[in-house]
Structure 1
Amino acid sequence: MSDTRPPTTIAVVGATASGKTGLSLDLAERLDGEVVNTDAMQLYRGMDIGTAKLPPRERRGIPHHLLDVLDVTEAASVAQFQGWAREAITDIRGRGRTPVLVGGSALYTRAVLDRFEFPGTDDSLRRELEVELERVGPSALHDRLRGVDPAAAEQIQRDNGRRVVRALEVIALTGRPFSASLPKLEYADPRTVQVGLDIDRPTLDERISRRVDAMFEAGLVDEVERLLAAGLEEGRTAVRAIGYREVVGFLRGDRSLAEAVDQTKAATRRFARRQDSWFRKDPRVTWLSYDDPGLVEKALAVVSGR
């Protein structure tokens, strides 16, 4: 008799604003599931509007994990998140329920799903690299990374100084390319399924534009002001979130409100393209059209292996 139970873990992936949240809720409802957040910025308390965090009243009574677990002054790390998420998944499965992962942070998702061991750290080396980052800027360090590990440089955004520093640190510590320590396409648990939402670029860009407008109308500027008072700029991770850094610039007088809105839209579009590119490289993802009237049933068929 064939095994018709749902897989151990389901991950809903794709670009921001493609409809992942809605599908994750539908699947959790149908499969007696609980949602596990894999968005790096939704880990932060108070970062609600700008991260499109689903309000409790809209969660359909479905338990959500790994939301609001950090203060904005705290740094988030992929290694730490991996431990938290796997613990949540084990707990959910232990109660006979189905974990449904959803979020836009591709590396966080892969770190949970795949076999991924983290190299150690060296505080003194890290500080040296961070000092150099401040002195020469992320582009110069990215050029250095490209010289020693082109594959890693290809996967790390040029202005992501923090990840460039980490890559150079790992190379110095291990003597191996940083790309060798990135997650391989091998599930930690074979009973895992990924469902991706396929959406055309013009439609996605329009949805992003509407979402950003709605965020500013809902009070994003006030949210950022509150978070600045709570120490937003003291942290290394939260202040880098799209929308928040643009509003900080507005509040500091570096740009107009209209410019902050436009720059947030442009940054979100670029981010969505990077997300799509990352997930498209994973052949294990089954892609379904975001507007298919039978989306939920087709996703359930993927989950059940039909």
Structure 2
Amino acid sequence: MKAASITPVAVVGPTASGKSALALDLAERLGGEIVNADAMAQYRGMDIGTAKPPPAERRGIPHHMLDVLDVTETATVAKYKAAAGEMIEGLLEAGTTPIIVGGSMMYIQGLLDDWEFPATDPRVRARYEEQLAQMGPLALHRLLADVDPAAAATILDSDGRRIVRALEVVELTGQPFAASAPTIGEPRWGTAILALDREREELDARVEARTAQMFESGFVEEVAALCEHGLRNGRTASQAIGYTQVIAYLDGRLGLDEARERTFFGTRRYVRRQRSWFRRDHRAIWLDAAAPGLLDDALQALSQVRE
């Protein structure tokens, strides 16, 4: 149950828009704590490739739902929703403002709209996973487009795991994948949703700069070390943008420049999907992440929500 005077805040938006910095500023001003909503930042050791704020840059503010999984474990929206929901309830009971921050679209919606997920069938999933291994994600994506064009339009043709899940849901329910999505209504706990964005050209430049910085800061070495701990066998961790490309480089299937380039293009495509997804949420209060008074703009927006 939410304490009457506390409004949780979700800071969402595309990769490289500046969510982490604003979330830290808000946590300082509101006496809050950070709840991560980036799927891949849950993994221990996946630091550089997820732009995870290092401990020294967290300003002493507790961060939750970071470093909670080994790379061999499978991350799911359902497991995240349960764990993050429990964490948020605990913060509210303690009188602390939860600052939910991340760009993983289904994680945000699953958490804030209390998504009840369709059941799974191990046999059906195993069959599609076998097809994925044999055909590759592009061919399986074409199969999804035949049975559920709307789902195919929203799922990247490189995202094998989501393609498999969509096909599984369609087969088990006999309905389009979107039919299992939650209805967008009042967000749980009365959460205020602040969405950051920038001009497309500026976002592209920031993604390009971030990608270059990753590779200059030891990203290849990070991936190589994680491979020693089972990254290649991780069903979700190994599919993260950047990690997939560097694994291909380490295995001799890509050159280093091509791995870097594909990481940039993959991230840029993901940014386009994030912007489109979050724009559909009428509850979001959009802020210009490039504005010099961003924190003041965010606090003003929150004051209006609370009135």
TM-score clears 0.5 = yes
Deviation at 1:6, TM superposition (A): 4.3
Q: Please, which moves more after superposition, 46-55 or 165-174?
A: 165-174
Q: Deviations over 1:89-130 (max 9, x none)?
A: 001111101111111211111110113111111111111121
Q: Are residues 1:296 and 2:295 paired?
A: yes
Task: Give the aligned residue type for 1:138.
Answer: P
Residue in structure 1 matched with residue 278 of structure 2 by the alignment: 279
Secondary structure, aligned partner of 1:293: coil
Residue in structure 1 matched with residue 22 of structure 2 by the alignment: 23
Seq. identity, %: 52
Where does 1:196-207 land on structure 2 (aligned, <5 Å)? 196-207=195-206
Distance 2:4 2:76 in 1: 36
Where does 1:1-306 land on structure 2 (aligned, <5 Å)? 5-7=5-7, 9-189=8-188, 191-305=190-304
Secondary structure, aligned partner of 1:271: helix
Structure 1 outlier segments of 4+, above 4 Å: none
The answer for unaligned runs of 5 or more in structure 1 is none
Deviation at 1:4, TM superposition (A): 9.3
Task: Give the aligned residue type for 1:91.
Answer: G
Secondary structure, aligned partner of 2:11: strand
Distance 1:213 1:155 in 2: 28
**Count of residue pairs the alignment pairs up:** 303
Is this contact kept in 2: 1:6–1:304, CA < 8 A? no
Secondary structure, aligned partner of 2:27: helix
Deviation at 1:228, TM superposition (A): 0.6
Distance 2:231 2:303 in 1: 43
Q: In the superposition, relative to structure 1, how do residues 224 and 190 fare at CA in structure 2: closer, same or farther (>3 Å)? A: closer
Q: Deviations over 1:156-199 (max 9, x none)?
A: 22222211211121222222222111122123426111111120
* TM-score, normalised with respect to structure 1: 0.94
The answer for unaligned runs of 5 or more in structure 2 is none
Tell me how large the CA RMSD over aligned residues is. 1.7
Secondary structure, aligned partner of 1:305: helix
Deviation at 1:256, TM superposition (A): 2.0
Task: Give the aligned residue type for 2:17.
Answer: S
Q: In the superposition, relative to structure 1, how do residues 153 and 93 fare at CA in structure 2: closer, same or farther (>3 Å)? A: same
Deviation at 1:146, TM superposition (A): 2.7
